[in-house]
Structure 1
Amino acid sequence: MMYWDDHGMNGWGAGLMVFTTLLFLGLLVAAAVVLFRYAGRSTQQQRPERRPPDERSGPEEVLAERLARGKIDPEEYRLRLAALREAPGPGRGGAGWTP
């Protein structure tokens, strides 16, 4: 004799099966999102970070970069460069020192 009662699967059993399937799929999607975010963050950390100009170069290079970006005009660049080269500073030997 054959039993066609789905082995005791009633409304609660079918609902539990749907719930666990949706929960499993949700966990898979969440794991994929976390994995993609982690992979994206690790590739961003491998790229060298840009530092502000004053931390990576001297004042003359910063001045040249400002001219290249169009923040100052060539006349102002020449005036400021001359002022930088004339001003006494660390390692220049003080006032009256000529290279």
Structure 2
Amino acid sequence: MPGWDGYWDHHGYGWIGSLFMILTMVVFWGGLITVTVLLVRHWGHNGTGQDGARRILDERLARGEIDREEYEQRGQALRAGQR
């Protein structure tokens, strides 16, 4: 029975098999981490909350749907909700 020092050499894998196994693991874990990061970014950036509400308020003012006075009133209400 071979020791650990010659395990791969006695089974025909050699250094190419070891290299292939290492590269496969790097690709697997890299892909898993990439997918996880993309999902977290997607779910974390849904446009809700105070930032999303402020953005919508800004857009409504820019389109002329609300006047400056209503914009200020709604902005104050948003700030009061943050506290």
Which residue of structure 1 lines up, in the alignment, with residue 61 of structure 2? 52
Q: Does 1:22 align with 2:26?
A: yes
Structure ranking higher on relative contact order (CA contacts 8 Å, 6+ apart): 2
Normalising by structure 2, we get a TM-score of 0.54
Which has the higher Rg, Structure 1 or Structure 2?
1
Identity %: 29
> What's the CA shift string for 1:63-84, capped at 9, x where partnerless?
xx5xxxxxxxxxxxxxxxxxxx
Aligned residues: 59
Structure 1 residue runs without a partner (length 5+): 66-99
4+ residue runs over 2 A deviation: 2-9, 45-48
- Distance in structure 1 (CA, Å) of the matches to 2:12 and 2:61: 70
Q: Does 1:11 align with 2:20?
A: no
Cα RMSD after superposing both structures? 2.6
- C-alpha deviation, 1:26, in angstroms: 0.8
Structure 2 residue runs without a partner (length 5+): 73-83
